[in-house]
Structure 1
Amino acid sequence: MRIDVYVPLLLSLLLATVAAPQAGRRIAPALAARVLATAAVVTAAATTWALVLLALTLINEAPPVVAEAREDGRHVPEPVPELIGVAALAALAVITYRVYRAIRAEAATRRALRRLCQGHPPDAELIVVSSPVPQAFAVPATRQEPGRIVVTAAMLAALEPGERRILLAHERAHLGHRHALYCTAVALARAANPLLTPVSTTVAFLVERWADESAAGSIGDRTGTARAIARAALIAHQPRPARALGFTDHAVTRRVAALQTAPPPSLWPLATAVLALGVLPAVGAADATGDLLELLAHLFV
């Protein structure tokens, strides 16, 4: 346990600083987003569990446990220094608060987005808002409500007919591929493990790239899609609601440049390696769990 329990923390740093940038640049956006989101969630769960294991080692410092061990003449093992156990307990308290805040923020944002859609027919996919601010974004579906596309009149007026079709195809891709779930998953993973912040940023960019590629494929015009994104970015200066997947979000220059080249390959070997890197922390946490169970058996049996 002395080494295995720290493996998830070290591997999460490797995932964030090495694997995420490589996957974001070299793997097709759809595959890269899926792989990185999965790896982030598993890694965040493993690192949180590793902190739980470190905090549980404080059991052997509890006065009743120490007294009973001394009466029986048994040695009380110390798998990690007491200070580390205390630090892990404090980190768990911070993580709990961060995740709680992330969940509340997500719920509040979803309610705010739903309020934008109130008063419109339940089967209306497109909602045009009479606003001078050029914006366009997707509102994720819920169990009660379908996904919606919100576009302001100013945005529609600023785009040519062909560019409007690209915009709608982009937002439909967000809804059809449930990109909000990926963004929410990595946001919660980042709350549980701040080391994963670069992974969250990369996934946010990749879902936009994924929607770009989907729109370009459905329209059959990569250059036209790039031009529509660039044009919309020039006219959209106002911030859109958080968690709404917008047409002009996340590194527009990189997205336009990517659409002017051939679609990136899937590169399954690299994707598999990234996914394996996300699974390894769980393996380390599982091994550390076995070691802790042996410690508890030594204390109480």
Structure 2
Amino acid sequence: MTVDVYTPLALSVLLAAISPVVGRRVAPALAAPVLTAAAAVSAAATVWSLVLLAATLLDDAPPVVAEARAAGHPIAEPVPEVIGIAACPALALIAHRLWRAVRAEYTTRRALRRLCAGQPGDSELVVAASPVPRAFAVPGSPGRILVTAGMLRALEPAERRVLLAHERAHLAHRHAFLVTAASLAFAANPLLGPVRDQVAFLVERWADERAAAAVGDRATTARALARAALTAGRAQPSCGLGFTDRAVTRRIAALQSAPPPHLRSVAAAVLALGALPALGAADATGDLLRLLAHIVP
């Protein structure tokens, strides 16, 4: 346990370091779900490792100490006591971060759904009478595309088709779920911030590629993206899956080159890396259970 319990933290740093490379080399449709899955497993393993560290304080509980001494069993220290004590406020902080992340997600979804309220059940497109250029994919049942009048006025007819194809891709491939999962993983493990950012970028790249395929013109897709970004200017970033943010310059450059390949071997390696923290946490759990069984037969 003295080593395995720390592996989720170490491997989270490694996952965060390689995520930009994976994002550049692997097709977004493959890289985004792979990184999200790896981050979710790593975050869960990290939280469980903290629980195990806090659980090592059980061998200092007076009833446990008295019973172990009466049975003639030595009390081993799997980790320094100060680390077990530090794990307790760390778990409390993680719980607070997760609560804030869930509340923010709920508030955002509720606000977007409220803007779409009153529309016919089969209406996919909702146009808001706002001069501020914005576009959102609003997940739900049914999913909707919320676009402001200011955005529609800024785009030419072909560019509007790109916009709608982009937002439809967000809905069809459940990008909101991936972004939410990566955000919750970051809330549970702040070391995974680069992975969260990379997933947010990749779902936009994924939607760009799907839009380019739908309209059959990568140049038009790049031009629509550039025009939308210029129209939006330096307004505050939107709270939904926006069409006008997420490193627009990089996205335009990617559309001006060939789509990246599906390097499944790299994706498999990332998934394996994401599974290692879970294996380390499982092994540490077994070590702790054997220790407690030895103390209190």
Q: Give the TM-score range, shorter chain.
A: over 0.9
Equivalent residue number for residue 230 of structure 2: 234
Equivalent residue number for residue 21 of structure 1: 20
Equivalent residue number for residue 129 of structure 1: 128
Equivalent residue number for residue 75 of structure 1: 74
- What are the equivalent positions in structure 2 for 1:88-167 lying under 5 Å apart? 88-141=87-140, 145-167=141-163
Give a deviation string over 1:246-276, Cα, whole Å, max 9, x none: 1112000000000000000011111111111
| Residue 219 of structure 1, aligned match among 215, 218, 236 | 215
State how far apart, in whole Å, the 2-side matches of 1:116 and 1:6 are. Answer: 46
State how far apart, in whole Å, the 2-side matches of 1:255 and 1:165 are. Answer: 18
Q: Which amino acid aligns with 2:2?
A: R
Determine if the alignment matches structure 1 residue 300 to structure 2 residue 296. Answer: yes
233-242 vs 20-29, which deviates more? 233-242
State how far apart, in whole Å, the 2-side matches of 1:217 and 1:139 are. Answer: 22
**Count, aligned residues:** 296
Contact residue 135 and residue 240 of structure 1 kept, 8 A? no
Q: CA deviation at 1:241?
A: 3.9
- The 3-state SS of whatever aligns with 2:136 is strand
Q: CA deviation at 1:240?
A: 5.3
Q: Normalising by structure 1, what TM-score?
A: 0.97
Cα RMSD of the aligned pairs, angstroms, is 0.9
Q: Normalising by structure 2, what TM-score?
A: 0.98
State how far apart, in whole Å, the 2-side matches of 1:241 and 1:20 are. Answer: 24
State the percentage of identical aligned residues.
68
- The 3-state SS of whatever aligns with 1:40 is helix
Determine if the alignment matches structure 1 residue 287 to structure 2 residue 286. Answer: no
State how far apart, in whole Å, the 1-side matches of 2:154 and 2:73 are. Answer: 79
Give a deviation string over 1:178-220, Cα, whole Å, max 9, x none: 1000000011000000000110000000000000000001111
Equivalent residue number for residue 63 of structure 2: 64
Contact residue 37 and residue 203 of structure 1 kept, 8 A? yes
- The 3-state SS of whatever aligns with 1:150 is strand
State how far apart, in whole Å, the 1-side matches of 2:21 and 2:151 are. Answer: 34
Contact residue 67 and residue 296 of structure 2 kept, 8 A? no
Contact residue 20 and residue 199 of structure 1 kept, 8 A? yes
Equivalent residue number for residue 34 of structure 1: 33
| Residue 241 of structure 2, aligned match among 231, 241, 245 | 245
